[in-house]
Amino acid sequence: MSARRAVQLERRQALLELEAEVQRASLAAAFARWEQRRMIGWAAEGGRLLLRALSSPRIRWLAVAAALRALRRKPGERSDA
């Protein structure tokens, strides 16, 4: 094999390695976007479930009662008593 052909093959290999690195970075970015979208979807679904639960008067009353109880509690008082 000639020296010129060897240089061409080395350049080609370097170019292919750079292209592979770009593809890996692109895939990593795409997977990160998909993961974030999925997490945002879960958060949105959780918010919808919370709003649906809070539409019930009994759940709203229990939430307000728990909040008022927590506010009324003295600073040094334990919650498991």
Model confidence pLDDT, tens digit, residues 46-74: 999 998 988 999 988 998 999 999 999 87
- Residue 56 placed within a domain: yes
Residue 60, CB-side half-sphere exposure with 13 Å CA sphere: 6
* 81 in any annotated domain: no
Split into its structural domains, the chain has a count of 1
Asked whether residue 77 is assigned to any structural domain, the reply reads no
Residue 11 is assigned to a structural domain of this protein: yes
Each residue's pLDDT tens digit, 19-38: 999 999 999 999 999 888 89
Domain-located, residue 79? no
H or E element at residue 45: helix 3-54
What pLDDT does 79 receive? 62
Q: Answer whether residue 78 is part of any domain.
A: no
User: Do the domain assignments include residue 66?
Assistant: yes
Q: Under a CB-based contact definition with an 8 Å cutoff, are residues 79 and 73 in contact?
A: yes
Instruction: Output the pTM of the full model.
Output: 0.47
- From CA 5, how far away is CA 9, in angstroms rounded? 6
- Domain hosting 37: range is 3-72
Residue 80 falls within a domain, yes or no? no
